[in-house]
């Protein structure tokens, strides 16, 4: 890009052809002179030139009866603001043009629009898209294209869909490049996406300058880049990015509509270098009329640019230019060609080039007619109300692949991102919308969605801030004065290093020791992350609300909560009714009731069987003996359980905490200890403790000494510290609580750091497996009896413990009387054969009596033998009892 130099503005008359378009069709039409200023060497300028020339031909072919005709005077600005200004002055002076189409660049508009204000000549541009060009200081400037702010929401939706949290804006240092930045930043902030860095490329940047800028980007963590540059600078940027390996897997690039709209006109080598890039471009619905226009446009484009590739297609830029000419031609017909002499400018002191320019007499009327002109053009609804295009646009999302591009979806304000254009109005947001898009081939021909960040292979290592804890089992640091290296160890360090190993990418880091010589607190340590002195803080840091205002925390890697360590006291058993304690009240009542119930049932069974010894201890019937034996089994089990429980009560000492409530300590004005530099002090003050009653200690040994000598009554600590204390000093102390909810220990990172999410996933993987148990066994003795001082209940035997046995004996005992009654009924039926004579009955009674007498003798003999056996069994039972 060349820029004219010199102190004075030199009029530069460019080689041009004045096009009297309709001279063959409208012989006597009045010429309406219009200047056209474009960069004819750029892709946009070539497309625009062909479009405006074709538009003039088509318009007057369709309106042969018009009395005016546009006469175009095309000038080449060569990409120079000075040459563009010189061309405008030349057109106003020599041709008295009544309107100027262009200029092409936003930076050229600033000066040329001032000329339009002076001469009251409308300046209409369909290529200058900076949002800053619609200000009131340019009353004669018309922006016949949507400005760049119209596309920022589609870009933000795309970033959100793929879950990226940080992006870097890359833009050139021009009005065009800078104009979109505030709008893009606001759109990204609404979806909580940060722009940690902006890479500004000078407008006159060389290849060496761009390589230097790209190397700076490679040294950063962010791997998502939004490029908003001219087509020339964009082409150079991606060619150099390809050389540096920034078009490989892991990178993500998004280009704005400025380049995406003219993707088909770029050099094939540039398109190949851009493979994997996403682009946002304006979408125009296909139609037969548009296809016919495209064929004629392609034919004319190849005639004007014979060295160009025949694959070039008519873009939205060309359609805007085409519709602009039609709008201007209609306005010219309504206003007409001025027959009066234009007013001369007021005398300008020391003017050398403006004194010959005049004020247009119909400029204001022409401007008014242009902005009121509304029609449906090839680019859509053409409406220049408020001197700018206003309508709801549809954006097409493209993916550069191979030698061209392919469509992956659309974006509308109403429906958001979608694979196909939808009219239902159902809008998906966030990462859900990603699934509604076609798959993307990313840089490096990868189908894996880039993570959006990574620790760069070049540049600085991850700075890991570490802080020695007074409880070295968690973290201990040592600075080697010879090697100037920091060595760390402890449970926290093991978890951090294991988490780093489980990250989906390699991470190079170095430990930086935090100075604790002046007793600085953990809040100070965390604040150094906020000051960007550390990339991550690793220590026994508790997640707190006030700290979360400055940093982000990973998920906790320890248990949460705050508890108390208190001495325990021994409960000596001096109760005279201790012998009743082995059985619960329900057990005593149930045993007595079942004992009485069983005795009644046994007596009833003996009575129903007609036993002559029902009041004696001997049992003559079968059923009572069954009931009694089941009950004896219950008694044996109950007696054994009673003995074991009673023996335990006589030999085991019961321990209970001396304090059960932190409020009790506060009311009694007791002294309480806490960890030095911890947030616990503020917590105790909030509860109501007097600061004079609070004592800070550094190590677990200090806590133990203070509790032993009575300096303090209790210690309030985070639960991980309490577990370690009880592992060392489990005799005579117990934990009470948790008395307060806390989130546990975690690592601190800068706000919105993408590493936070990955580290949290790795920590969850660790704490959900066996590795955390291994680490805790390494640093905390898990085999210690840390719960020796806790109370587990009275130890009394409950009724439910013997429910099964009681149910068994109850069922047998209850069913036995019914069985006995059935048996007696059966015997009576057998002994009473039916209705017979009295003699037979009497004879029968005698026979029965005789048989019963004989049977009694036999039973007496049998009972004597049974009595002998029972005597022996009873003796054995008494010995066993």
pLDDT of residue 479: 82
pLDDT of residue 595: 81
Residue 722 vs residue 274, higher pLDDT: 274
Q: Are 268 and 43 in contact (CB under 8 A)?
A: no
pLDDT of residue 431: 58
Q: What percent of the chain has pLDDT over 90?
A: 40
Average pLDDT over residues 387-391: 79
pLDDT of residue 415: 85
| DSSP letter, residue 428 | B
Answer yes or no: pTM beyond 0.75.
no
Among candidate residues 193, 156, 155, the one with its CA nearest the CA of residue 754: 193
Residue 312 vs residue 60, higher pLDDT: 60
Average pLDDT over residues 528-538: 92
Residue 632 pLDDT class (50, 70, 90 cuts): confident
CA separation, residue 399 to residues 49, 138, 438 (Å)? 28, 37, 10
Token pair, residue 118, equals: 């002076």
pLDDT of residue 793: 43
Residue 480 pLDDT class (50, 70, 90 cuts): confident
Average pLDDT over residues 809-835: 71
Residue 804 pLDDT class (50, 70, 90 cuts): low
pLDDT of residue 864: 57
pLDDT, tens digit (0-9, with 9 covering 90-100), for 197-253: 999 999 889 999 999 999 999 888 899 999 999 999 999 999 999 999 999 999 999
Among candidate residues 422, 502, 430, the one with its CA nearest the CA of residue 758: 502
Average pLDDT over residues 159-167: 92
3-state secondary structure of 661: coil
Q: Are 475 and 492 in contact (CB under 8 A)?
A: yes
Residue 571 pLDDT class (50, 70, 90 cuts): low
| DSSP letter, residue 514 | P
Average pLDDT over residues 606-614: 64
Report how far residue 141's alpha carbon sits from residue 121's, in angstroms, rounded to the nearest whole number.
Answer: 9
If you search the block for the tokens 């296809």, which residue do you land on?
291
Is a pLDDT exceeding 70 seen at residue 142?
A: yes
Rounded CA Rg of the chain? 49
Among candidate residues 431, 381, 881, 809, the one with its CA nearest the CA of residue 599: 809
Within a 13 Å sphere around the CA of 857, how many CA atoms are in the beta-carbon half? 5
Residue 24 pLDDT class (50, 70, 90 cuts): very low
Which of 79-83, 352-356, 568-572 is least confident? 352-356
Burial of 426 (0-12, 13-18, 19+ CB in 10 A): exposed
Per DSSP, the chain holds a count of helices (H) and strands (E) of 26, 31
Report how far residue 614's alpha carbon sits from residue 609's, in angstroms, rounded to the nearest whole number.
Answer: 9
Within a 13 Å sphere around the CA of 260, how many CA atoms are in the beta-carbon half? 27
Is a pLDDT exceeding 50 seen at residue 397?
A: yes
pLDDT of residue 556: 93
Instruction: Output the average pLDDT for the chain.
Output: 81
Token pair, residue 622, equals: 């079968």
pLDDT of residue 351: 47
Residue 874 pLDDT class (50, 70, 90 cuts): very low
Strand pairing category for 123-125 and 141-143: parallel
3-state secondary structure of 628: helix
Which of 390-399, 767-776, 786-795, 800-809 is least confident? 786-795
**Helix residue ranges per DSSP H, 203-315:** 207-218, 231-243, 257-260, 268-273, 288-304
199 φ/ψ angles, rounded to the nearest 5 degrees: -100, 110
Report how far residue 313's alpha carbon sits from residue 281's, in angstroms, rounded to the nearest whole number.
Answer: 14
pLDDT of residue 803: 64
pLDDT of residue 881: 39
Taking every pair of Cα atoms in the chain, the longest distance, rounded to a whole number of angstroms, is 169
pLDDT of residue 853: 53
Q: Are 733 and 700 in contact (CB under 8 A)?
A: no
| Beta bridge pairs of residue 280 | 397
């Amino acid at each position: 890009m060349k820029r004219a130099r010199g102190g004075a503005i030199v009029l530069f008359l460019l080689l041009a052809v004045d096009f009297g378009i309709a001279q063959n069709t409208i012989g006597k039409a009045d010429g309406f002179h219009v200047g056209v200023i474009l960069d004819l060497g750029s892709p946009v300028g070539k497309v625009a030139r062909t479009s405006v020339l074709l538009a003039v031909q088509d318009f007057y072919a369709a309106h042969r009866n018009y009395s005016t005709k546009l006469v175009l005077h095309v000038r080449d600005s060569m990409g120079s603001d000075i040459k563009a200004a010189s061309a405008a002055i030349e057109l106003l002076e020599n041709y008295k043009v009544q309107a100027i189409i262009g200029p092409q660049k936003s930076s050229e508009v600033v000066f040329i629009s001032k000329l339009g204000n002076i001469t009251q000549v409308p300046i209409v541009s369909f290529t200058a898209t900076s949002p800053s060009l619609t200000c009131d200081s340019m009353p004669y400037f018309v922006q016949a294209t949507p400005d760049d702010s119209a596309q920022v929401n589609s870009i933000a939706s795309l970033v959100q869909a793929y879950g990226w949290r940080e992006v870097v804006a890359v833009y050139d240092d021009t009005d065009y490049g800078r104009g979109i930045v505030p709008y893009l930043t606001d759109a990204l902030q609404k979806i909580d996406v940060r722009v940690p860095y902006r890479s500004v490329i000078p407008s006159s940047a060389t290849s060496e300058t761009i390589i230097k800028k790209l190397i700076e980007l490679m040294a950063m963590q962010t791997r998502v880049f939004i490029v908003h540059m001219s087509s020339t600078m964009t082409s150079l940027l991606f060619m150099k990015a390809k050389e540096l390996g920034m078009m490989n897997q892991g990178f993500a690039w998004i280009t704005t509509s400025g380049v995406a709209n003219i993707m088909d006109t770029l050099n094939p080598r540039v398109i190949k270098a851009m493979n994997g890039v996403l682009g946002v471009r304006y979408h125009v619905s296909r139609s037969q009329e548009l296809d016919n226009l495209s064929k004629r446009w392609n034919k004319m484009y190849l005639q004007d640019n014979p060295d160009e590739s025949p694959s070039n297609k008519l873009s939205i830029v060309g359609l805007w230019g085409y519709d602009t000419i039609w709008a201007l031609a209609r306005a010219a017909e309504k206003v007409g060609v001025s027959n009066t002499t234009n007013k001369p400018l007021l005398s300008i002191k020391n003017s050398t080039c403006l004194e010959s320019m005049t004020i247009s007499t119909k400029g204001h009327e022409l401007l008014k007619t242009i902005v009121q002109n509304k029609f449906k053009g090839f680019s859509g609804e053409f409406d220049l109300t408020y001197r700018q295009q206003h309508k709801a646009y549809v954006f097409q999302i493209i993916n550069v692949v191979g030698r061209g591009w392919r469509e992956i979806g659309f974006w509308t304000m109403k429906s958001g991102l979608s694979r196909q254009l939808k009219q239902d109005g159902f809008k998906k947001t966030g990462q859900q919308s990603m699934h509604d898009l076609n798959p993307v081939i990313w840089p490096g021909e990868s189908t894996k969605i880039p993570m959006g960040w990574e620790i760069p292979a070049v540049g600085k290592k991850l700075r890991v801030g570490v802080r020695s804890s007074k409880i070295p089992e968690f973290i201990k640091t040592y600075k080697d004065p010879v090697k100037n290296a920091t060595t760390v160890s402890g449970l926290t360090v093991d978890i951090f290093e294991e988490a780093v190993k489980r990250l989906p990418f390699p991470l190079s880091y170095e430990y930086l020791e935090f100075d604790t010589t002046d007793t600085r607190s953990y809040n100070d340590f965390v604040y150094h992350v906020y000051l960007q002195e550390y990339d991550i803080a690793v220590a026994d840091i508790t997640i707190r609300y006030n700290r979360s205002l400055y940093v982000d925390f990973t998920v906790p890697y320890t248990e949460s909560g705050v508890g108390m360590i208190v001495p325990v006291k021994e409960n000596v058993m001096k109760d005279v009714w201790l012998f009743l304690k082995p059985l619960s009240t329900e057990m005593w009542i149930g045993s007595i009731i079942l004992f009485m119930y069983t005795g009644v049932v046994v007596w009833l069974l003996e009575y129903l069987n007609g036993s002559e010894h029902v009041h004696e201890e001997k049992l003559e019937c079968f059923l009572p003996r069954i009931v009694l034996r089941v009950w004896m089994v219950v008694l044996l089990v109950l007696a054994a359980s009673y003995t074991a429980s009673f023996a335990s009560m006589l030999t085991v000492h019961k321990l209970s905490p001396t304090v059960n409530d932190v409020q009790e300590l506060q009311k009694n004005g007791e002294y309480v200890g806490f960890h030095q530099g911890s947030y616990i002090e503020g917590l105790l003050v909030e509860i109501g403790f007097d600061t004079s009653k609070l004592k800070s200690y550094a190590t677990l040994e200090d806590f133990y000494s203070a509790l032993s000598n009575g300096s303090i009554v209790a210690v309030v600590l985070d639960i991980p510290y309490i577990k370690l204390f009880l592992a060392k000093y489990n005799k005579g102390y117990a934990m009470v609580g948790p008395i307060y909810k806390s989130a546990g220990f975690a690592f601190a990172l800068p706000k919105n750091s993408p590493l936070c999410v990955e580290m949290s996933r790795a920590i969850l993987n660790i704490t959900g497996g066996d590795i955390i148990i291994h680490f805790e066994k390494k640093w905390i003795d898990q085999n210690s009896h840390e719960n020796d001082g806790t109370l587990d209940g009275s130890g009394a035997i409950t009724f439910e413990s013997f429910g099964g046995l009681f149910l068994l004996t109850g069922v047998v005992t209850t069913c036995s009387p019914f069985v006995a009654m059935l048996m007696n009924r059966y015997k009576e039926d057998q002994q009473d054969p039916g209705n017979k004579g009295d003699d037979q009955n009497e004879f029968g009674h005698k026979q029965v009596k005789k048989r019963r007498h004989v049977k009694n003798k036999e039973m007496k003999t049998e009972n004597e033998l049974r009595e002998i056996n029972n005597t022996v069994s009873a003796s054995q039972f008494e010995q066993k009892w």
